[in-house]
Amino acid sequence: MMRSSVGYLILCAVLRAGVTHAHAEAAESQEAFVGWTREDLDAKWGTDWGFSGISTFAHLPHHRCLQYPETEYDIGILGAPFDTAVSYRPGARFGPRAIRAASARQTSFRGYNPRASINPYREWAKIIDCGDIPVTPFDNELALRQMSEAFTNLAHSVPPKQSVDSSIAYRRRPKLLTFGGDHSIALPTLRALNKVYGNVAVVHFDAHLDTWHPAKYPSAWFDANDPAEQSFFTHGTMFWLAHNESLLLENKSVHAGLRTRLTNLGDNEDDDAQGWARIACDDIDDLGVAGVARKIVSHVGTETPVYLSIDIDVIDPGLAPGTGTPEPGGWTTRELIRVLRGIEGLNVVGADVVEVSPAYDGTGEATALAAAQVAFEILSSMVKRGMAPDAGTTKDEL
């Protein structure tokens, strides 16, 4: 019995050695798996369907630009998930996530914009998704500091190196398209732009003025005469603060789409004193879409550095209900997009799309979809403006 057991063990060892030797010979003679070249891998696995992939805006590559400031890009998408300066319905901290999700059907291989005659994702510009600013929800003073520092750092980003053979005629500074968050994020953005461009004009699409004196929100709990009062920083006062900090060009900024109730006519007088022009929502019926666009361009000029700020509540809440301060009677999504197309010649140095609050949106994501389309139009205009003159566009000297 013992002798047969020993024989069995020896036989197993021999067989095992033979199998191992056979595998080794096969490994030595095996050819590389077909499709392992860089080109094959990119072609097979380098694209996504609208419903697949990690949720970045338009499936763009994701880089943590704040954490890695050496990251090069021409246009960066940045989320500012902050909503604790809102006066009515909170929830816009989830806006960046919702806009990215709603952009899923935008892809570089199917991103041609017929009105602009370009695919912004495949032209000269390197466009990436820079992720979000990790803004605290507990302390607005700290949040403002965080956003101011983040935007300032990114405003000084270095553009991609330009090759000798490039068809890009002009090198410009990198630009940011920011997704809010509530509208107060415009203040830290303007602070950052001021350090790079000096004073800029604001083209502001909104149902509301957002130039209100903080005391327009009456309270016995703060000192209305204290310029350092933290509660002065809200999504309805940030342009008042920007004016007081001398961040805006005089008499160059314009509101469009206004239709809100006022405290009294003194609100418009305060707005006048801060140098703003106003285009009411109803003006689109008298001037038409083209007339509104012409009025904006003629007031601002095509060489003035512009911060383009779009509160999604400029659209009627019947079409974009997911927002913090809805005002009935607004523009349609199509009207807003057509006005944006009409001002594509502006020298936009930064932009935002804010106040998307998905908790109030429907299952069809109408508000987020509108915001994603607005962002696509802004990107198209930025890229088109930055192209060489022989492409039929205007030189960007900034």
Which segments are annotated as binding site for Mn(2+)? 183, 206, 208, 210, 311, 313
Give the chain's radius of gyration (CA, Å): 27
Token pair listed for 109: 């291989």
Strands of the sheet containing 276-280, edge to edge, are 127-132, 75-80, 175-180, 347-354, 305-311, 201-205, 253-258, 276-280
CB–CB of 157/130 below 8 Å?
no
Q: What is the spatial distance between Cα 53 and Cα 106, in angstroms, rounded to a whole number?
A: 12
Question: Which amino acid is located at 8 in the chain?
Answer: Y
Nearest to 212 by CA among 223, 224, 203: 224
CB–CB of 185/93 below 8 Å?
no
Question: C-alpha distances in angstroms, 100 versus 53, 60, 90, 279?
Answer: 12, 10, 19, 30
Annotated binding site: 183, 206, 208, 210, 311, 313
HEC per residue, 252-305: CEEEEEECCCCCCCHHHHHHHHCCEEEEECCHHHHHHHHHHHHHHHHHHCCCCE
Question: Which amino acid is located at 76 in the chain?
Answer: G
Nearest to 279 by CA among 362, 203, 184: 203
Q: What is the spatial distance between Cα 307 and Cα 132, in angstroms, rounded to a whole number?
A: 20
Q: Cα-flanking dihedrals φ and ψ of residue 76, to 5°?
A: -115, 135
